[in-house]
Amino acid sequence: MEFKEAARDFLSYIKVTRSNGTFRYNKSKCSVLIEYFNTTDINIINKKVLIKFIEDIKERNPDISPVTINKYIATIKRIIKYNLEKEVEFEKLPETRKVIPVLKKSTIHKLFSHFQMNLNNIEKTRNYVLFKLLYDTGLRINEALNVKISDICFDSNTILVRVTKTNNERYVFFSFSTAELIKQLITRSKNKIEDYLFISYRKNHRITVDNVMKIAARIKDSLDLEESIRPHKWRHTFATNFLNNGGNLEALRQILGHSNLTTTQIYLHIDKENLHKEYFKQYNHSRNSAKSLSITV
């Protein structure tokens, strides 16, 4: 069986059994793999073939990370397992554990202040609600864009998230200030919003992930922000804040919609701001102790 045929059969299976996000992820990986393996018989793909694949993609892109390579290898293994019902043994490449990027408080303050001064603009109000909701809930951007008005309960400040990466519905919660903004957005959009909360007022349909990425890039440039405000960064920021404020790891797992606790544990770190604060708290304590000792002597 040719690899390109096996990959397409695998994608057809993913499309009907997994979420749209999982399908898009696998489709992007398969497009690269089909170009490389093409008519290669999947029966001959073994450890030696995978090593040659890694050598070739490293030669093509010297900066490719072990994380990305591991994702390609994992996809190849899933394609083979789906089509041949057999496992290909291959150890993951060592990965560098990178610092989880979170938003600076100054960036969030600057952005929210900008929105608060432009609440007469319906599109900026919508964008404000979207970023506030990401900040409050840790929702993935596709999950947030699929929120319907009927999914929101203002009595408990709760959203039932129906469209999820794992296909498992869950609840998330939002602040009272965000609740007031959502109500304001719904009231002002009552002649246009009938279903989804976040819509394009020009085209009268739900906005897309690409729309949000363009909005985020445009805001960054217009406000001259020092850092990106891409949607997933808000999810990282929510998770880090939740744990830094004493939140429970298992509760965070359920709120974020992770299938297992291992995924959530990537947030068990002290962010730079807290690290800075802890360092200088100890530094100042040591310096004051030294001064006190000097005076005593």
What distances in angstroms separate CA 257 from CA 118, 134, 162, 169, 253, one per listed residue?
33, 14, 11, 8, 6
Percent of the chain as helix, strand, coil, to the nearest 5: 65, 5, 30
- Residue 173, strand partner residues: 158
Tokens 């291992």 correspond to: 262
> How far apart (Å, rounded) are the C-alpha atoms in residues 170 and 88?
35
**Exposed/middle/buried for residue 45 (C-beta within 10 Å: 0-12, 13-18, 19+):** buried
Q: How buried is residue 200: exposed, middle or buried, by Cβ count under 10 Å (0-12/13-18/19+)?
A: middle
- In this prediction, residue 18 carries a pLDDT of 84
pLDDT per residue over 143-163, tens digit each?
999 999 999 999 999 999 999
Mean pLDDT of the chain, nearest integer? 90
Q: For residue 264, give the nearest of 285, 246, 286, 242 by alpha carbon.
A: 242
The pLDDT assigned to 96 comes to 80
Q: Are 88 and 80 in contact (CB under 8 A)?
A: yes
- pLDDT value at residue 240: 92
- Residues with Cβ within 8 Å of 290's Cβ and at least 6 positions away in sequence, in order, are none
pLDDT tens digits, 75-101 = 999 999 999 999 999 999 998 877 788
The confidence score (pLDDT) of residue 263 equals 85
Dihedral angle of Cα 179, 181, 183, 188, to the nearest 10 degrees:
-170
Mean pLDDT, rounded, for 285-290: 66
Domains present along the chain, CATH in parentheses: 3-84 (1.10.150.130), 105-267 (1.10.443.10)
Structure confidence at residue 36 (pLDDT): 97
Give me the active site residues, please. Answer: 140, 165, 232, 235, 258, 267
Give 95 or 173, the one with higher predicted confidence: 173
